[in-house]
Structure 1
Amino acid sequence: MFQEGIEDGVKKFLVIRRDNIGDLICTTPLIHALRKQFPQARIDALVNSYNRPVLAGNPDIDQVHHYTKFKHRQSGQSALGVALERARLYARLRRTGYDYAIIAGAQFLPRALKLARALKPRHIIGFTNPGDPRSRHIDMGIPYELPQPLHEVEDVFRLLAPLGITGDPGPMRLFPDRQLAEQLRETSGLPESAPVLGLHISARKPSNRWPEQRFAELILALHRKYPQLHYALFWSPGDETNPHHPGDDQKMERLVHRLEGLPVHPVATNRLEALIAGMSLCDRFVLSDGGALHIAAALDKPVVSLFGKSEASRWHPWGVPHVVLQPPSLEVSDVSVDEVMDALEGLPSVGH
């Protein structure tokens, strides 16, 4: 019953994805498939200021609209100012007159549905909950159920079925700023020709944190075996004693001091676009579950991924060679250096 409306002539899509970095990255295969199916359509996205750089330079998107969450407002930016700015954005989106708003998130999302309805598109596509009367407002809905475990990419991709798009989703897509990448290469001293292993030493969830001692031991062991290999260190910027946004500046400094004389290159990235650009300079990665893991996969990098109390079947690196290490304890601190070494050896060309 959906196809009849589509044949009338699709002109404007709005893809709504307002949550974390990895969630939006996992939505890029959906956006790319939408562009391939409707090459002449206008395809816009509504995201937040935090994850917006994920779509920078993406040729599948005509325009990225973003709003600021109250918890993400900058110093000097009032809550009232943020609310007014958001109201003006929603007014502009209503005037655009979208044919389809796609609530691009797994499960039934009432808050996103409320937003989609406020924008007054002709049709709303999203997952529904048959037991929730609000689902009736999604006129092109898919009852949300998981007969088998799915990756986030696969789960969200199912939302394209009402538009006649089925099959397997493609790879995730990111488009790093090449000029920024070369600036980071110069400031960090990363070589252009030698192989580079990227290591992201931070993790938001305590169960996903690998001790700095293990990172140091891994680099020392790899250096003995692959003396030509260089190491790019990435971390969450900030002071570790900050009660609101603790970072790993001190952890990085201790590692660099401990590994003095080795080809270790801290890559300072205070913005998401810089993290994406910096990670594009590496050949493969060791890192824990989180947004950086999905950045690495979307940049087509082989990954050794460390999982604690996270659902590896749903959040493992999508579409790239990878090894998942998840100990029975669900504590990444229990993963040994030898296990990571063995996993790296299973990835393409570790030292070449």
Structure 2
Amino acid sequence: MKILVIQQKMIGDVLTSSILFEALRHKYPQAQLDYLINEHTFPVVDQNPFIDNFVFFTKKEEQSKQELLKFALSIRKQNYDVIIDVYSKFSSNLISFLSSAAIKISKYKWYTSFIYTNTFNDAKIKNTNAGLAVENRLQLLEPILNYKPQVFKPKIYLTAEELKNSKRFLQQNNIDLSKPLFMISVLGSSLKKTYPFFYMARLIDEIVTTTKGQILFNYIPNQEQDAKAIYNACKPETQQQIKFDVFGKSLREFIAITKHCTALIGNEGGAVNMAKAIDVPTFTVFSPWITKAAWNMFEDGKIHVSIHLNDVKPEIYNNRSKKYLKANYKRLYETFTPDLILEKLNLFLKEN
């Protein structure tokens, strides 16, 4: 049997959807299990023992409908028996439509349901602490497993060499691994998913005051100016504990460095999901317009903790649409002041 799972775009989505392979391998140990992803997301699934082959969706296919068609036809030639389209957007719809697979599975959309043999509506209420992002993906396997799959946690597989090199890198940069070390996800993937800079600085001040810990910032090169603005907003004594220029040069290096941290704290996004996948404690601040139930995966109130404006000011959310919340994210973030977060953050720091 040949099975192709399609999950394009974001790193967090690609990591989360990788749980399907562990479930599939238990049921079909001899099957060929392939994963179609954007090439920049590969680091989070590199070394995954349950995936046989990777099929990369590149910028060439993204930018040209002609190239996308050629790509879809090349997938057709692979003669997959099953297509599991987790992404369910135009490109993956086309790939699924042109595929010769006898079984095609995706989420239900009225305008694409004719493409697939099995479709599912996303659940709105979670049944486990895995969260809706996990539960809704696992239900896509039911037609070929013939039973409700057990919950699997996303995992990132680091090599011994990567862990050794990252430890040496930290020590060479005067990081004392016998003391608390916190990775701060200072910026989200966009401003709409980024806790206000001054507020974030106050949280970092509290972490240093409470723990006397060392601080690393998670940011990519084009975010350096914004990361520096948050650094500048911190107290001078906090700045002394921030190792601003100590960061991984690649996604795998970031993950390996994070493995040595006491916890990852900050904005909801791919970094949080990666930390969970390597069993590092997390404290997550959700954007006011993001649905917490979908992405607070495996939250237990101690090792993995999150906070949302809806947790502390639920009256704001009465009969408000997601469209309204997203459009008014700035005003909502302004009401999500650090004092609403610090009690829960300090409890997390005490526990971890």
Once residues 280 and 37 of structure 1 are traced to their aligned partners in structure 2, the CA distance between those partners, rounded to angstroms, is 31
The superposition leaves residues 165-224 of structure 1 with CA deviations (integer Å, 9 ceiling, x where unpaired) of 414422111123435534642464433332222211112343432344344433443333
Counterpart of 2:86 (choices 100, 104, 113) is 104
Q: Where does residue 94 of structure 2 map in the other structure?
A: 114
Change (3 A) 1:151 1:94: same
Of Structure 1 and Structure 2, the greater helix share is in 2
The superposition leaves residues 38-75 of structure 1 with CA deviations (integer Å, 9 ceiling, x where unpaired) of 22211110001232222111111111111213598xxx
Change (3 A) 1:160 1:252: same
Q: Where does residue 116 of structure 2 map in the other structure?
A: 138
Q: RMSD of the alignment, in Å?
A: 3.2
Q: Confirm or deny that 1:208 pairs with 2:188.
A: no
Once residues 44 and 305 of structure 1 are traced to their aligned partners in structure 2, the CA distance between those partners, rounded to angstroms, is 32
Once residues 185 and 152 of structure 1 are traced to their aligned partners in structure 2, the CA distance between those partners, rounded to angstroms, is 33
Once residues 338 and 37 of structure 1 are traced to their aligned partners in structure 2, the CA distance between those partners, rounded to angstroms, is 49
Q: Confirm or deny that 1:294 pairs with 2:279.
A: no
Q: Where does residue 148 of structure 1 map in the other structure?
A: 125
Query: What are structure 2's unaligned runs of at least 5 residues?
Result: 317-328
The superposition leaves residues 130-161 of structure 1 with CA deviations (integer Å, 9 ceiling, x where unpaired) of x43x423312x034253635611111111011
Q: Confirm or deny that 1:234 pairs with 2:218.
A: yes
Aligned amino acid, residue 104 of structure 2: I
Once residues 32 and 114 of structure 1 are traced to their aligned partners in structure 2, the CA distance between those partners, rounded to angstroms, is 26
Decide whether the 8 Å contact of 1:190 with 1:232 is kept in 2. no
Decide whether the 8 Å contact of 2:180 with 2:211 is kept in 1. no
The superposition leaves residues 272-325 of structure 1 with CA deviations (integer Å, 9 ceiling, x where unpaired) of 333323322212121112222212222222222111221111122435633322
Counterpart of 1:172 (choices 135, 142, 154) is 154
Displacement of 1:261 after TM fit? Answer: 6.7
Displacement of 1:110 after TM fit? Answer: 4.9
Q: Structure 1 residues 325-334 or 119-128, which shifts more? A: 325-334
Once residues 284 and 4 of structure 2 are traced to their aligned partners in structure 1, the CA distance between those partners, rounded to angstroms, is 33
Decide whether the 8 Å contact of 2:106 with 2:119 is kept in 1. yes
Q: Find the residue that maps to 2:222 and give its secondary structure.
A: coil
Displacement of 1:252 after TM fit? Answer: 5.8
Q: Structure 1 residues 149-158 or 247-256, which shifts more? A: 247-256
Change (3 A) 1:257 1:281: same
- Report the TM-score when normalising by structure 2: 0.77
Once residues 279 and 48 of structure 1 are traced to their aligned partners in structure 2, the CA distance between those partners, rounded to angstroms, is 23
Q: Confirm or deny that 1:127 pairs with 2:86.
A: no
- Aligned-residue sequence identity (percent) comes to 20
Displacement of 1:18 after TM fit? Answer: 0.7
Change (3 A) 1:114 1:168: same
Q: Where does residue 271 of structure 1 map in the other structure?
A: 250
- Report the TM-score when normalising by structure 1: 0.77
Q: Where does residue 323 of structure 2 map in the other structure?
A: none
Q: Where does residue 229 of structure 2 map in the other structure?
A: 251
Q: Confirm or deny that 1:198 pairs with 2:221.
A: no
Aligned pairs for 1:22-37 (under 5 A) are: 22-37=12-27
Change (3 A) 1:128 1:315: same
Q: Where does residue 65 of structure 1 map in the other structure?
A: 55
Q: Where does residue 51 of structure 1 map in the other structure?
A: 41
Query: What are structure 1's unaligned runs of at least 5 residues?
Result: 1-10, 73-78, 241-246
